[in-house]
Structure 1
């Protein structure tokens, strides 16, 4: 019964992971983003506004999609209370535009005579009795619009063209409005050259300036270093309009990591210190955000601490590193107050002692601390998936005796997953460790009774699941599904694997804590407030280490630019009573990768709030890099 419930929850929790995403170039991705933003702003005044009902999700029609009730239910589950602009963009990427061939195929099934026409009675019968049933009044409305000859027959080829033409006109109108708004904002507030991206909807200028007004952050394919173009045209605006321009330029040159000396040497006699370690993993979520567990550290008395975090290689060959070992990692140390709000930032790792070790060395008073893992998103990010022609790796097969078994490739992947979720590294899975895996893949926990059932059926030691037992559990689930790999794929994709069994949307890591002269306790946590606490902590780490610079002409909008040893982060503080939109241009940067995935974008900051603008890392660690960013106010409403 537990396995059945687990399967149901797994489908409802991770159904979005089965969506297919076609390969797009950066131009196509940018055009799609413009189309999405235009559709959104055709209905809402701001992309900060949330979709709050399933009916509002019909906004997909503004972007040329034709969502059925089943499609809407797929994205708006009983647990959904709202969707934001980023969610809408991800949905749009997954849903194909309605195509004429698809519509024609449906109508031809109703064309009993094969003459290109469907009678009113045949159409009414089909639409009111099959699938998502329409009312007679709705069918009559269709006929009143499409029965051009008024002969009771529908020329469905003409109707399909009319339908798609109307949808295209809606998209073009929305894009042209967005383009006009963008030009107006640039005319009033900026001097950047205007070059709208190419549109797949129309060859006209309907694609709008996604680069100028893209609000929030999509996760398109990894960008490379680009060369910006300065606008050599003189301004034709009156001086009063030019004076309203509010911008700030920052330029920072960073030396390569290979040229930097190790600033945090390993303490003498570290081998004699008390040591504990724990594993974890960063996961890319469907909305592009990054999540992980949090950890609790307890030290019983004041002590010197040496703390490191690093990516964890799972390579089966000692001469080959895992591809995610270049992902940047950091660890924020927070004092644990009586409430999460009382927690205070103590320090964070920003130095390196080795190629991949991020380190902090210092003194901690006795007490309890939260350890919050962090990665910038500059290197762990959504990437274009391989084309659908690539055949997925086989997960199961039939033996000579006809029994189902797991392939060698799947067994290796499951063994690696076991390595990741074995948080204490003792070679066994406790119920707590296994439940972190269950929550990740199915959204449900395994209770003690179900764990007892596992003990009777799978290999366990000391009431903990062995690696072999974990693989046997997955084999049993595949056997119960008669070899259908759907559930296995849901599990694998939830853990960051693609259909080639490559770990591409996750980064395992290991935290090591050394304390001098005292024992320590290190435990994993899963706090609901973890992401919010990490964001607040990240903001504090930026504002505490750098001064604020006001945007010219805007005394209450500030930019904080943190320069660490290996990372640059910026934050926008809006102290006005109005929402502001800040245009960010990184085109003059060199050898830089932004967590936003774009060189030019915009950030909408609500009134009286702070927002992390971006993180920036070098594309090539072995070369110098130059961060050159211009922030400009577009709107203040």
Structure 2
């Protein structure tokens, strides 16, 4: 497609081009980049508020089209209209099921529950309240249009901010590169300088902004029908608890309020002025500020579900989907939202340059990177460990739509102390191999040190039973303990069994009761959810369980229902009481197992009642010089974003780079590959310090006795400029044999 020579004389062409540019840069780093597929063209057009049909797309992306330029994109935007009033009216009539000229709470909730990300009634009510001018609890056509168009305008503002920030960063990067080039000209030994740069430029180089992972899909898509908005307990006590639905808020990562940088090696001042009550409030309640897409960009964002209902020609809310993407790129992306169900209610922390790996010799072009790894394991725990103070907690990894979710912890250390942390998987009731899932721990500061580092230490050594451990000295202060697994042995299931286990049966009196097999699984779930291992489920533990399985916290009224229906012991739920709650749920739903299955799926079970999408673990923390350290579970979620717009992958990539072997990729001056190895696995990390996106094909198929976190040992990766990327995790397939990593790379 060629660029049209004449331009339309419509109103403010400069503003039109600027909007197109902002939308384009929400997907690409530069307008010089090309659109390389029809899907990319569709996504780019959706960034502008357009939602073309397949027929329209084929008009611009023919069988002979290989790529489209930015100018081509502008021409298409000029030809294709954005959302019109007719489109909005069609959508309004589609949602207005009873045809009374208004969209009620029930009608909007039904649409938003049947497609895409699930919403509770309280969240939908909040959406309506924001634009409901006459306060009648429903939307007329004018209010509906206001809700949609306000999202579009906010999206355009966000795109413009993104574009300005990218251009500013690009200018700063050019200036930085010019300064580095001047320094290089003064150095006669260019090769040595290049290799040294691969090691040292990491901390001084400003990383280009990269899009953050999209919020995960609602887990209720894995169930056989849409989730309902009333819990089994509230089915029987609806009048008692109905009024609380609007007051519930979702969890937010406490990391959104992290403070500014300081070096952790300096002693951190102990905050003795805070009362225990305040600390408890921080541990239990501070994450309640919402980090959902609705709170970050306005609840109108949920309307991205509507086009699926009314047809591809209507561009109502592609802007809202764009806005969510923009927020993720700005480091404000929301954590995954759990499925909606009926509620039951190494070692080294030093940043000394001497600790950094030295550049390895250049590899000849006809040889691959090779790393031999011994099968021996070592885990040297302190000899006087029995004298140390011991704190422990259980937790679990969950796999959902390819995303890793896990229990995450705050660790408060009142006094300077040496610590010893271990982590290992619990008994394997899953359908996995006999080798243990790797369960490591990363210790992070609550704020960066003066060098911008968040990572303190992580577990690298393990014993033969799969327990990983790390020992280090910590100053008094607050830390985050983040569990991690590579995904080599813990992956998304490939398929679901067609045969479904029986959960509920009827006794001779016609009463619905849970089956023996289901009862055994519920007992296991209780044990995994009893995080402190005291044999009871506290309200906080039950709350975390409920958030995981229903996406909602347990309100006071709902907890009162629990207290009324089952016997508690010292205010905590017994195992018998937990089983009784599930029996009451089966009875209240008259044998309908939809919500019971949602609970099981949320907790990692398949249709055969085998736990294959969850991995329980045991976390133990020992302190030598501090008797009142606090280990507190704060969330069950995906990893949050950290200060400096760092993702958790950014942090662990940096740690693998620091402790790995460096080698420059053939034919690329500014592309390095690092190979990190420990007792359990090896990781390959690509570090691109160039100004261009690089395509690299990695071939690890000649490695010996390995499995990886990907289905294939050959894959092509796209590494954005100024970014790092974990290309592979690899570990032995057979723990009793030696294993070797061999990798060759080709620039595409």
TM-score (norm 2): 0.52
**Partner residue, 2:40:** 44
**Partner residue, 1:576:** 690
Instruction: Measure the CA separation in 2 of the matches of 1:49 and 1:552.
Output: 37
Query: Relative to 1, partners in 2 of residues 1:83 and 1:401: Cα closer, same or farther, differing over 3 Å?
Result: farther
Cα pair 1:291 1:531 within 8 Å, conserved = no
Cα pair 1:313 1:321 within 8 Å, conserved = no
Structure 1 position 529, deviation (Å): 7.8
Secondary structure of residue in 2 paired with 1:590:
coil
Q: Is 1:274 equivalent to 2:389 in the alignment?
A: yes
Query: Relative to 1, partners in 2 of residues 1:274 and 1:618: Cα closer, same or farther, differing over 3 Å?
Result: same
Instruction: Measure the CA separation in 2 of the matches of 1:309 and 1:603.
Output: 32
Structure 1 residue aligned with 2:116, among 76, 93, 116? 76
Cα pair 1:458 1:473 within 8 Å, conserved = yes
Query: Relative to 1, partners in 2 of residues 1:52 and 1:312: Cα closer, same or farther, differing over 3 Å?
Result: farther
Q: RMSD in angstroms over aligned alpha carbons?
A: 4.3
Instruction: Measure the CA separation in 2 of the matches of 1:378 and 1:537.
Output: 20
Highest RCO, 1 vs 2 (Cα 8 Å, sep ≥ 6): 1
Query: Relative to 1, partners in 2 of residues 1:46 and 1:563: Cα closer, same or farther, differing over 3 Å?
Result: farther
Cα pair 2:407 2:637 within 8 Å, conserved = no
Query: 1:440-455 alignment to 2 at 5 Å?
Result: 440-455=548-563
**Partner residue, 1:304:** 418
Query: 1:308-457 alignment to 2 at 5 Å?
Result: 308-313=422-427, 326-337=436-447, 344-385=454-495, 387-388=497-498, 391-457=499-565
Structure 1 position 49, deviation (Å): 11
Instruction: Measure the CA separation in 2 of the matches of 1:324 and 1:71.
Output: 45
- Deviations for 1:143-178, whole angstroms, at most 9, x for unmatched residues? xxxxxxxxxxxxxxxxxxxxxxxxxxxxxxxxxxxx
**Partner residue, 2:380:** 265
Query: Relative to 1, partners in 2 of residues 1:51 and 1:622: Cα closer, same or farther, differing over 3 Å?
Result: farther
Query: Relative to 1, partners in 2 of residues 1:594 and 1:45: Cα closer, same or farther, differing over 3 Å?
Result: farther
Instruction: Measure the CA separation in 2 of the matches of 1:373 and 1:612.
Output: 17
Instruction: Measure the CA separation in 2 of the matches of 1:469 and 1:91.
Output: 26
Structure 2 residue aligned with 1:624, among 715, 728, 738? 738
Structure 1 residue aligned with 2:703, among 589, 593, 602? 589
**Partner residue, 1:254:** 373
Structure 1 position 324, deviation (Å): 7.2
Instruction: Measure the CA separation in 2 of the matches of 1:597 and 1:86.
Output: 23
Query: Relative to 1, partners in 2 of residues 1:247 and 1:554: Cα closer, same or farther, differing over 3 Å?
Result: farther
- Deviations for 1:12-60, whole angstroms, at most 9, x for unmatched residues? xxxxxxxxxxxxxxxxxxxxxxxxxxx993331699999998957979x
Query: Relative to 1, partners in 2 of residues 1:303 and 1:91: Cα closer, same or farther, differing over 3 Å?
Result: closer
Query: Relative to 1, partners in 2 of residues 1:617 and 1:322: Cα closer, same or farther, differing over 3 Å?
Result: closer
Query: Relative to 1, partners in 2 of residues 1:304 and 1:56: Cα closer, same or farther, differing over 3 Å?
Result: farther
Instruction: Measure the CA separation in 2 of the matches of 1:91 and 1:409.
Output: 23
Structure 2 residue aligned with 1:604, among 708, 718, 721? 718
- Deviations for 1:302-340, whole angstroms, at most 9, x for unmatched residues? 22222100001166xxxx999676101100111222899
**Partner residue, 1:523:** 632
TM-score (norm 1): 0.61
Instruction: Measure the CA separation in 2 of the matches of 1:72 and 1:51.
Output: 21
Instruction: Measure the CA separation in 2 of the matches of 1:470 and 1:341.
Output: 49
Query: 1:474-513 alignment to 2 at 5 Å?
Result: 474-513=582-621
Query: 1:15-26 alignment to 2 at 5 Å?
Result: none
Structure 1 position 265, deviation (Å): 2.5
Cα pair 1:274 1:514 within 8 Å, conserved = yes
Query: Relative to 1, partners in 2 of residues 1:467 and 1:526: Cα closer, same or farther, differing over 3 Å?
Result: same
Instruction: Measure the CA separation in 2 of the matches of 1:509 and 1:49.
Output: 45
Instruction: Measure the CA separation in 2 of the matches of 1:433 and 1:77.
Output: 26
Query: Relative to 1, partners in 2 of residues 1:46 and 1:632: Cα closer, same or farther, differing over 3 Å?
Result: farther
- Deviations for 1:552-609, whole angstroms, at most 9, x for unmatched residues? 2211222121122221111112222222222111111111111122111122222222
**Partner residue, 2:568:** 460
Query: 1:146-225 alignment to 2 at 5 Å?
Result: none
Instruction: Measure the CA separation in 2 of the matches of 1:476 and 1:341.
Output: 56
Q: Is 1:563 equivalent to 2:677 in the alignment?
A: yes
- Deviations for 1:502-537, whole angstroms, at most 9, x for unmatched residues? 000110001001112321211112287834453232
Query: 1:233-244 alignment to 2 at 5 Å?
Result: none
Structure 1 position 268, deviation (Å): 2.1
**Partner residue, 2:126:** none
| Unmatched runs of 5 consecutive residues or more in structure 2 | 1-34, 59-93, 96-109, 120-150, 156-210, 225-308, 314-363, 642-646
Instruction: Measure the CA separation in 2 of the matches of 1:271 and 1:51.
Output: 59
Cα pair 1:404 1:483 within 8 Å, conserved = yes
Structure 1 position 386, deviation (Å): 5.0
Query: Relative to 1, partners in 2 of residues 1:321 and 1:558: Cα closer, same or farther, differing over 3 Å?
Result: closer
Query: Relative to 1, partners in 2 of residues 1:493 and 1:370: Cα closer, same or farther, differing over 3 Å?
Result: same
Query: Relative to 1, partners in 2 of residues 1:369 and 1:575: Cα closer, same or farther, differing over 3 Å?
Result: same
Cα pair 2:686 2:727 within 8 Å, conserved = yes
Structure 1 position 610, deviation (Å): 1.4
Query: Relative to 1, partners in 2 of residues 1:53 and 1:433: Cα closer, same or farther, differing over 3 Å?
Result: farther
**Partner residue, 1:211:** none
Query: Relative to 1, partners in 2 of residues 1:412 and 1:47: Cα closer, same or farther, differing over 3 Å?
Result: farther
Query: Relative to 1, partners in 2 of residues 1:399 and 1:41: Cα closer, same or farther, differing over 3 Å?
Result: same
Cα pair 1:307 1:361 within 8 Å, conserved = yes
Query: Relative to 1, partners in 2 of residues 1:359 and 1:454: Cα closer, same or farther, differing over 3 Å?
Result: same
Query: Relative to 1, partners in 2 of residues 1:275 and 1:281: Cα closer, same or farther, differing over 3 Å?
Result: same
Structure 1 position 455, deviation (Å): 0.8
Query: Relative to 1, partners in 2 of residues 1:53 and 1:78: Cα closer, same or farther, differing over 3 Å?
Result: farther
Query: 1:42-121 alignment to 2 at 5 Å?
Result: 42-44=38-40, 55=51, 74-77=114-117
Question: Which deviates more, 473-482 or 271-280?
Answer: 473-482
Instruction: Measure the CA separation in 2 of the matches of 1:401 and 1:336.
Output: 58
Instruction: Measure the CA separation in 2 of the matches of 1:413 and 1:386.
Output: 18
Cα pair 1:336 1:343 within 8 Å, conserved = no
Cα pair 2:681 2:731 within 8 Å, conserved = yes
Query: Relative to 1, partners in 2 of residues 1:248 and 1:632: Cα closer, same or farther, differing over 3 Å?
Result: farther
Instruction: Measure the CA separation in 1 of the matches of 2:561 and 2:668.
Output: 64
Instruction: Measure the CA separation in 2 of the matches of 1:534 and 1:507.
Output: 20
Cα pair 2:406 2:637 within 8 Å, conserved = no
